[in-house]
Structure 1
Amino acid sequence: MIRALIVDDERMARAELRRLLQAHADVEIVGEAANAEEGLKCFAQTEPDLVFIDIQMPGMSGLALAAQLEGRVQIIFCTAYDSYAIDAFGLNAVDYLVKPVVAERLARSLERVAPKRAGDTPRLPYDHGLLLKFGEVSRIVRLHEVDRFESVGNHAAVYTPHGKAYILSSLTRIEQRLEPAYFFRANRSVILRLDAVRSIEPDVGTGFIATLVDGSKVEVSRRQAQLLRSRMGCLD
């Protein structure tokens, strides 16, 4: 049984989500809150396994609430594609639901909820969605669409077929959430998606160069290059 808490300032949105969750016998709604402050109190009283959080709320935002709950519970964000920078890898986000929430997407999100109580850092599924902003357009991009993550200060650049976006997360934190079967740490600053690597060639003085499907090139240390070649079946 998944014990769920709903935090949303819109009464109708809470009612609709509650209605949709009635179709899931393994979900018990243990509380509702109309803002983040109420959500914190309700969380302490009910100790849920999962919290549905509206991103944009008056007062404390849903992101600020999620930050306070970090590592203590799994979270599904509800969003209307607002332009927030989300630490998707640090806030234990299971998924993002775009309002109005539809039954099929809710069901897929619930399938991602780990059966055990949160508190660890589970790996994200290959089709996990990231809420990214490209200029004035926000969209949800799946991990299998990401070519690489690159460290930029306390942010990370995310390279996708839609362009480059930024998330507020360290590369180490990102690596902890990614499945090693699909992603690879090329050097201190870059994580590659294995399926995005087209070729690996020696490069004088720098070790190796990985060429990606979009034509971009990434330096790979000699030690990591041998491991990468092995992972890709390029054994000598």
Structure 2
Amino acid sequence: MIVIHHRRNTVAELADTDPQFGVEIDLRNHGDDILVTHDPFITRAVLLQDWLKQYRHRFLIANVKEEGLEPRLTALLAEYGVSDFFILDESIPFIRKYALEGLPNFAVRVSELESIETAIRIASYLHGENRSINWIWADSFTGMPLHPDEALALRQAGYRICIVSPELHHVNDPASYEARALRYIEALKEPGMESSRPDMVCTKCPLLWGSNYSI
């Protein structure tokens, strides 16, 4: 399983992240440039190309906060040799557009409020066009894993699954991070949860996931 360290938007945060982990970053456009920043109206953030000069990590999740920067983004990733990545938080029309052009590196969101049926329909449609997308972003507002039947259906549709560790919904309560992540890990270890066990996790606690989840 690939462990992704959430929100490593500065060069210092990237340098502080073990290369065995992947990283998630937030991207916004600023004129002809792409800035690595979560918050809007920030203009002093690091340029993506400067951030990429320091990138040596396992996998990159590019969380785009504004659609339309994909051609510039993918060109920069290719320039810096980044091939293991997916683009997150794209709308379905944009995913469809670029997938039909041959770019499979997207994640479709599912959660208690975002149906797996939509993700499966997208996969089926693209399959009919001899195209695909690679990933599911499995969010949870209850802190519980995907039901095994849902996870199995997504895998049968051709997806790999990246889960959202539950502490990401409690960023203002860092004291609770480890307990929330550990409860999720223990739920995944329960009998019958084999299909729900992820290919990737995005977390604030990469060392905890790396040391406690070995299935």
Q: Which has the higher contact order (CA 8 A, sep 6+)?
A: 2
Q: Which has the higher helix share?
A: 2
What TM-score comes out, normalization by structure 2 length? 0.31
What TM-score comes out, normalization by structure 1 length? 0.28
Q: Which has the higher strand share?
A: 1
Whose Rg is larger? 1
